[in-house]
Structures are given as structure tokens and as C-alpha cells.
């Protein structure tokens, strides 16, 4: 993409796509400024909308947000924000002559998250085993949400926010992600880049907008791309799982040993665990007890990732204009989910403090968020999970545009965009 003297990188995937999508970057992460939706029309908001409180209120209604924050001043740094966090959540130590900010780890609370996830997952398996067939969807929804909690535990371990003993963290992180067939170390290496480069146009490893040049240059894959970024977007992390975590060419030599150990653990689980499930319960049992909850997990994984960093008003920026504080505070969305989801997923959606400092343990996120609201509240993006929010992401946030952040597929290629038109027609517009 020949903007500001930069070329388009080779497409990088984040999520699993139908055949024909494997050459296109279908990921989307944090985004630029304005496209307003109402179920059918897509008017463009003025570029300076975020400077007007009235305009922000209008966009909240259109996008499904509770609040769209003011732009963060350019001179604010992440250190400025971190300094305002409550003292009870942080201590300072000197390690190797370097001042590092560490957040208090409470072993009881950390292992309590493990107990909650193990108990809720066990209950889910029991429900699947005992429920009549017509209640399977409810049992799968519960169990898929419960194993999402395992991912969050592994996520804390990867950020060194679970235990003071780093060997224990690596063991717990590896075991927590095994039922998800996620190799812990490969995921950790790539996820660290997401935090270091959040909302950076070429470098962020999370969900990226589609490049217009790619979209125009590959008509044979266009329909698959539209389906992937539209109707099946809530499962697109499957593509990222496949393409980013099992390819040794994506890792540096000094990472290779740990990557191979993680991959060996995952393949051992697959080659031992899966046959045991099939031996005990048959292929149908494998589908019931593993596959369907795993798809439920990917629904949450995709949905959380989309909502955390995807909105028509949130910009993707090149590295030469990128600002870390703006990306982490202004470019991250706090979203309230049903309380049972928050409990089973260990508050992972209290996400703004996690991007301000990834080393805050999950059980301290709410206290940190409250502090951020008190000190930086006018700059925050906040929502309650709703249909209009999902509809905005799935029908508007598609192709990168320097001025508008996104152009929807049905504007750029209306003849191929029946899946987007279908979503606009059938998805509710409730906020």
C-alpha cells in the first residue's frame, strides 16, 4: 500500500478462513475514525467528530457504545497513566539496576481463578453428559465459556502476572491452554507484539483491516474474504490459531526451543487425549465433549478480540505517527458482558488497564479500571455488549481507509457483498 512511502506487507492472517482466504489479510484490530451505521445506510462521520461532545453522543448511538472518549493529548505518556493507578496495586523494585513496576500477585486469588475454571469446566462436562439433546446448546455455551477461563489463566501466566515463580507460571500456562490446542509459548511471543504495537498499522499482530489493494487484486478470493469478515467473523480466530502458532518460520532462533516444547505438548494432548475421548465416547462424544465447547471458546476469543480494538472511530496508525498512550487508552474498549461471562472469563474484558500495563493480574483489573475512570475517564471508550455493537463491527469495519478508517465491503464491492447485506437485514439493531 503506497501510503507515506510504505509498501503493503505480505498478508498476515489472524483467524481461520474458508478456502480462498489464505492469501489475504483478514485480520482486524484497532481502527481509524468514522463510518456511522444504522442497519442499512453507511453515512460518513466528519473526521473531527471526536472533538465534539455532541457528535460523540450521536456516534455512540449509531455504533452501540455507551461512551466514546475524547482524543488523548499528544503529550500524555503511558508512564503518566500508570502513575495514577492505586498504590495498593503496585510496588517498585530495583532489579539489575533497572526500575520496574510490578503489580502485586496474590497467590490465593490466582489459584482461586484456577479453581473457578476447573469447577465450571467440570460442571459443563457433567451437563453435556446428563442433559437431554435439546439442552446441549446451553451446556456447550457454558462449557465453552468455562474453557475460555483457562485461556485467561494462560494469558496471565504469559504476562508474568500469575505467580512469582516463573517456572510454575510456564507450567500452569502450558497446561491451561492444552485443552484449547493452543501452544503456550508461540502464542505468548506473538501476543507480546500485539501489546507493544497495538493499533500500529503494519506491526500489530492482532486483527487488521483489509487492504484495498489486496481486495481489488484478488477477485477470486473476494467472496470468501467477505464471508470471513462478515457472517463467520465470530470464529475467525481459528484461522489465526492455524496460521500463526504452528509455523516455525514465524519465530526467531532464540525462541525456537520453547516453541518446540509447546508444540510437543499440544501434539501429545491431541494424539493421546483425543483417542481416549473417542475410545470412551465415540466420534459423537468427541464432538459433544470437545469440539463444540472449543467452538464456543473461539466465539468468545474472536468476539472479545473484535470488541476490544475494533470500532469505526478507532484509528490504525503507521509507526511514524503512532502514540503508545493513545493506542492503549484511546484505542482499547471497555465492554461489560453478562456477569456470569465476566466471572468465568476472569474479567478479561476489563481491558483498558490491561493495555495500560499488561502485568496487572486479572483480579486487580477492576480496581485499576476504577482508578483510570477517575483520572482519565473522559478519554475512555465504553460499551455494554449488544447487537448494534456487533452489527457495526461485522458490517462496517472492513477495508482500511486513511481518512475514514474503514470502508464497508458493500460500498466498495456491492455486487459481491450479499453476505453483508444479509447481516444488515437479519441482525437486530438493539443497543
d(C-alpha 303, C-alpha 307), whole Å? 6
Quick one: what percent of the chain has pLDDT higher than 70? 84
- What radius of gyration, in Å, describes the C-alpha atoms of the chain? 21
User: Is the pLDDT at 361 greater than 80, yes or no?
Assistant: yes
Q: Which of 207-211, 234-238, 312-316, 329-333 has the lowest mean pLDDT?
A: 207-211
d(C-alpha 199, C-alpha 327), whole Å? 6
3-state secondary structure of 218: coil
Give the DSSP per-residue string, 340-383.
HHHHHTTTTT--HHHHH-TTS-GGGHHHHHHHHHHHHGGG-EEE
d(C-alpha 368, C-alpha 89), whole Å? 8
d(C-alpha 119, C-alpha 128), whole Å? 14
Rounded alpha-carbon distances, angstroms, from residue 96 to 90, 93, 293: 19, 10, 45
Q: Among 106, 114, 56, 133, which Cα is nearest to 330's?
A: 56
- pLDDT (tens digit, 9 = 90+) per residue, 127-162? 999 999 999 999 999 999 999 999 999 999 999 999
* Res 87: pLDDT: 60
* Res 19: pLDDT: 37
Please give the angle made by the CA atoms of 341, 346 and 350, to the nearest 5 degrees: 85
Q: CB neighbours (10 Å) of residue 5?
A: 7
* Res 42: pLDDT: 40
Q: What is the pTM of this model?
A: 0.84
Would you say 331 and 315 are in contact if contact means Cβ atoms under 8 Å apart?
A: yes
- pLDDT (tens digit, 9 = 90+) per residue, 72-84? 999 999 999 988 8
Q: Which residue has the higher pLDDT, 3 or 147?
A: 147
Quick one: pLDDT band at residue 51, thresholds 50, 70, 90?
Answer: low
Rounded alpha-carbon distances, angstroms, from residue 219 to 29, 93, 164, 225: 24, 56, 52, 10
* Res 88: pLDDT: 53
Quick one: pLDDT band at residue 23, thresholds 50, 70, 90?
Answer: very low
Amino acid at each position: 500500500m503506497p501510503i507515506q512511502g510504505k509498501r503493503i506487507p505480505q498478508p498476515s492472517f489472524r483467524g481461520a478462513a474458508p478456502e480462498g482466504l489464505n492469501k489475504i489479510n483478514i485480520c482486524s484490530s484497532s481502527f481509524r475514525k468514522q463510518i456511522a451505521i444504522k442497519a442499512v445506510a453507511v453515512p460518513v462521520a466528519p473526521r473531527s467528530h471526536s472533538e465534539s461532545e455532541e457528535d460523540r453522543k450521536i456516534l455512540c448511538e449509531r455504533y452501540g457504545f455507551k461512551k466514546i472518549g475524547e482524543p488523548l493529548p499528544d503529550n500524555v505518556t503511558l508512564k503518566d497513566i500508570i502513575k495514577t493507578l492505586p498504590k495498593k496495586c503496585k510496588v517498585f523494585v530495583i532489579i539489575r539496576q533497572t526500575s520496574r513496576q510490578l503489580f502485586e500477585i496474590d497467590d490465593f486469588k490466582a489459584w482461586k481463578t484456577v479453581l473457578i475454571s476447573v469447577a465450571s469446566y467440570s460442571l459443563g462436562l457433567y451437563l453435556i453428559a446428563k442433559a437431554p439433546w435439546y439442552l446441549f446448546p446451553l451446556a456447550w455455551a457454558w462449557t465453552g465459556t468455562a474453557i475460555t477461563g483457562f485461556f485467561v489463566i494462560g494469558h496471565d501466566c504469559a504476562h508474568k502476572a500469575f505467580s512469582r515463580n516463573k517456572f510454575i507460571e510456564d507450567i500452569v500456562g502450558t497446561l491451561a491452554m492444552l485443552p484449547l490446542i493452543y501452544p503456550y509459548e508461540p502464542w505468548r511471543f506473538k501476543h507480546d507484539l500485539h501489546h507493544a504495537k497495538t493499533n500500529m498499522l503494519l506491526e500489530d499482530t492482532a486483527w487488521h483491516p483489509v487492504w484495498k489493494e489486496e481486495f481489488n487484486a484478488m477477485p477470486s478470493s473476494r467472496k470468501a474474504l467477505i464471508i470471513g469478515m462478515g457472517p463467520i467473523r465470530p470464529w475467525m480466530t481459528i484461522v489465526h490459531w492455524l496460521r500463526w502458532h504452528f509455523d516455525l518460520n514465524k519465530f526467531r532462533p532464540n525462541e525456537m526451543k520453547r516453541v518446540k516444547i509447546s508444540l510437543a505438548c499440544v501434539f501429545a494432548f491431541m494424539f493421546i487425549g483425543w483417542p481416549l475421548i473417542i475410545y470412551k465416547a465415540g466420534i459423537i462424544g468427541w464432538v459433544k465433549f470437545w469440539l463444540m465447547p472449543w467452538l464456543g471458546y473461539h466465539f468468545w476469543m474472536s468476539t472479545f478480540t473484535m470488541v476490544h480494538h475494533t470500532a469505526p472511530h478507532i484509528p490504525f496508525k503507521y509507526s511514524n505517527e503512532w502514540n503508545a498512550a493513545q493506542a492503549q487508552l484511546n484505542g482499547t474498549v471497555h465492554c461489560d458482558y453478562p456477569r456470569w461471562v465476566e466471572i468465568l472469563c476472569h474479567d478479561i474484558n476489563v481491558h483498558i488497564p490491561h493495555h495500560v500495563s499488561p502485568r496487572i493480574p486479572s483480579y486487580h483489573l477492576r480496581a485499576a479500571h476504577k482508578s483510570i475512570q477517575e483520572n482519565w475517564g473522559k478519554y475512555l471508550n465504553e460499551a455494554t455488549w449488544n447487537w448494534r455493537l456487533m452489527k457495526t463491527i461485522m458490517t462496517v469495519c472492513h477495508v482500511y481507509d486513511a481518512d475514514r478508517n474503514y470502508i464497508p465491503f458493500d460500498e466498495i464491492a456491492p455486487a459481491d457483498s450479499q453476505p453483508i447485506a444479509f447481516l444488515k437485514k437479519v441482525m437486530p439493531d438493539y443497543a
